[in-house]
Amino acid sequence: MKFEEFKKEVEGLELFSKGWRGYIYRGIWKGQKVAIKVAKDQERVYAIQKECKILKRLLGHGGFPQVLFCGKDFIVYPFIEGVPLEKKRLSLEEKARVYLKVLELIKVLDSLGINKDELHSLDKNTLLGKDGGVYMLDFERGSQEPKKLHNLTQFLQLLVREGFLGRERAIDLGRKYSRGENVYDEVAEVIRAFT
């Protein structure tokens, strides 16, 4: 089913935001407030379909959109009430608490063999939920079963830029991670020092 057909089933449909590859609508579907991500054009349908496959693998894991339905050019999931990280002014301690939650989500992604991409910058694709949760959005650039995971190495770049971690230590942790070593606890310890 295409979005043009599906939207007849949605009450109060309204455009919520415009992205690089698609549009986000919100409305009520089957009595539930939902977000509907729609491909901007035919060239971007593949990215939406890829994102749907990734989100289906993340079903049941908190911190990710829980897909309800995928059409040919759209994805439906419960609307997450919250604010993008870029719109919040957080203290270093508050950022550290958010980053610890992001690290937990990275562990989930790695355990499932999913590369998120774009983890060197969390501004737009990380939502701070009104429920206190941290949510990762936008998986259209992600990949499944890559030859090499790079979620944590990208996140380490962010930690260096934000002043949580020195460059040399980040390189060392990144190399260990690339060799398949479990460095999540070491990274968490570094972040926890700021809480």
pLDDT at 20 exceeding the cut of 90: no
Say how many domains are in the chain.
2
Question: Domain check: are 139 and 96 in the same one?
Answer: yes
- Round the average pLDDT of the chain to a whole number and report it: 95
**Cα–Cα distance, 87 to 153 (Å, whole number):** 25
Average pLDDT, stretch 8-29?
Answer: 94
Average pLDDT estimate for 137-141: 90
Last residue of a domain, one of 79, 96, 120: 79
Last-in-domain residue among 79, 113, 139: 79
DSSP state of 57: H
Host domain of residue 182: 83-192
Return the axis-axis angle of helices 184-192 and 151-161, rounded to nearest 10°: 20
Asked whether residue 93 carries a pLDDT value surpassing 80, the answer given is: yes
On whether both 8 and 27 belong to a single domain, the answer is yes
Largest CA distance in the chain: 55
Would you place residue 94 in the very low, low, confident or very high pLDDT band (cuts 50, 70, 90)?
very high
Question: Do residue 70 and residue 88 come from a single domain?
Answer: no
Whether residues 16 and 37 fall in one domain: yes
* CATH code of the domain in which 45 resides: 3.30.200.20
What distance in Å separates the CA atoms of residue 8 and residue 28, rounded to the nearest whole number? 11
The pTM score is 0.94
3-state DSSP assignment of residue 46:
helix
Q: What is the mean pLDDT of residues 14-35?
A: 94
Answer yes or no: do 87 and 168 share one domain. yes
Split at pLDDT 50, 70, 90, the class of 11 is: very high
Both structure tokens of 31? 């009595």
Same domain (yes/no): 13, 68:
yes
